[in-house]
Structure 1
Amino acid sequence: MRTNLPHRLLLLARHNTTLRLRDPGHLISYLVMPMVLMLVFSPLYKSALPRGGEAQAVIGMLVMFSVLSLSVVGTALLTERTWRTWNRLRATPVSIVEMLIGKVLPVFVLLVAQQMILIIFGSQVADMPVTGSPALILAAVCVWSFTLLAIGVALASIVRSHGELAAICDVGALTVSALGGALAPIAMMPAWAQTIAPISPGYWAVTMLKAAVAGQPDTVTQAALILTAVGVVAGVLACVRISRGLKEPQG
């Protein structure tokens, strides 16, 4: 069966790509809304922060709405539980890792495309200066997308309903974004918030993406390692949970 691995992954990815393209509403809204907010808040941030105001507006909105995209990732798996097809897939020769890769790969591509479009939009329309190389920016975006996918899959393997997933994603997204400095620079936040900010993945995402557009590879590497570790832990937890079987969600 090892020789059929690429073929199995291709079939799973193609199937899940079709599912995502049939319901693109969330991804479209999470692309358009940050663009609108970038245009609205960019002058405000630029006035309040003479140095780095544009980057704060662009990267902050990008991180906040990419975290909101956790609902898209989680729904991709939770829907399989609703349809009662996930445990059936586990009875096939396809491994858990293969199923997860086939499930999240299309979403990963969409998340990367979404964030790269927002960075291009921010640089061309919101006047965010970009001195980092495209390769560095793409690498940072890929790391953040991987972390989001891993956390999203972990959440979807634990929650008991779509409503519970939506509540966790919405509240969690705002909390992670606010503590991470997506809405306001860390230096302008209360002392207690500055102290706990590094526990938020959003903090490292904002730090990494700002460093990427500014061309600071050392800072990007440090933040990327931390986010990768978070993603690996979340991914392992998801695999362990899924290997024990998933019950159909309630409601």
Structure 2
Amino acid sequence: MSRESLHRIAVLAGHNALLRRRDPAHLISYLVMPMVLMLVFKAMIGDPAQVVTGLLVMFSVLSMSDVATATLTERVWHTWEHLRATRARIPEILVGKAVPVFVVLALQQAVLLGYGVLAVGMRPPGSVWLLALAVAAWCFALLGVGTALAGVVRSQGELSTLCNIAALSVSALGGALVPFALMPSWAQAIAPISPGYWATTMLQAAVKGDLAGTAGPAAVLIGIGLVAGAFACRRFARGWGRTSLL
């Protein structure tokens, strides 16, 4: 990657970081709500790791709307064509938008994991770097899928609907809301189709310090992120994400 490319990405990332700082409402709400629910679910489920990782997965999927919004707003504001008119290529534009959101997602998950240890009773992770790998893999998958969604939806209403449905579906099928062993047999059979299943399994393994149990699901999530990111680049490059669609 050339210095010019890195410079363009840095400029775009700085601009989008400024937009994120000016509108922290989603970050705050997606921190406060899971914190409250963790205390409630702790008394119901009794397994702190299940409670913390499950709600983390659910609310990070809700946060995926922020990923898509970073690109969707350019279409709503009719500034997407201005970006396309610059020297920045599609991958550079998408990466520049993704970097600040990646930081926000990682911050959200780090705060919730720390809260889980201090307030919910989850035991400290066996390896901090292993947990960091799990968080990075999950954030990468969310970025890829969220960016792909931005090239499909036509309005903020469609995006909110999809993210809300996805959050409940991914969480329920992935074993984020109740332990996997307590799920109906039909749900257990189809659980692996849900990214939430791999995310929950990976995070719980990382908390235990299980390298093999973390690496496998992490590879699956990274693969999901790569496929979704490639789809997003192709879709935007062909003009399907331009303002003319609105």
TM category (shorter chain) comes to: over 0.9
TM-fit CA distance, 1:183: 0.4
Contact between 1:161 and 1:249, CA under 8 Å: does it hold in 2? no
Q: Contact conserved, 1:154 with 1:234, CA < 8 A, in 2?
A: yes
2:232 maps to 1:238: yes
Which residue is 2:208 aligned to? 214
Partner of 2:90: 96
2:30: which partner in 1? 30
Instruction: Return the letter of the residue paired with 2:185.
Output: A
Q: How many residues align?
A: 245
- Give a deviation string over 1:175-233, Cα, whole Å, max 9, x none: 01110011001111111111000000000000000000110010100000101111111
- The answer to whether 1:68 aligns with 2:62 is yes
How far apart are the structure 2 equivalents of 1:161 and 1:3? 35
Please give the TM-score of this superposition, normalised by the length of structure 1.
0.94
1:5 pairs with 2:5? yes
Q: Give the C-alpha shift of residue 249 in structure 1.
A: 8.0
Output the CA distance in 2 between the equivalents of 1:211 and 1:65.
19
What is the aligned partner in structure 2 of residue 15 from structure 1?
A: 15
The amino acid that maps onto 2:233 is: C
Q: What's the TM-score, normalizing by structure 2?
A: 0.96
The residue that corresponds to 1:165 in the other structure is 159
Q: Partners in 1 of 2:144 and 2:45 — Cα distance?
A: 32
CA RMSD of aligned residues (A): 1.4
Matching residue of 2:243: 248
- 1:92-143 CA-partner distances (Å, limit 9, x unpaired): 1111111011101001001001101111110111000124211111111011
Tell me if the contact between 1:137 and 1:209 (Cα under 8 Å) persists in the aligned partners: yes
Letter in 1 for 2:42: S
Larger mean Cα displacement after TM superposition, 108-117 or 127-136: 127-136
Q: Percent identity?
A: 55
Residue 85 of structure 1 is matched in structure 2 by 79
Contact 1:131 1:214 in 2 (8 A): yes
Whole-angstrom CA distance in 2 between matches of 1:250 and 1:233:
23
Uncovered stretches (5+) of structure 2, i.e. residues with no partner:
none
Q: Judging changes above 3 Å, is the alpha-carbon distance between structure 1 residues 243 and 212 closer, same or farther for their aligned structure 2 residues?
A: same
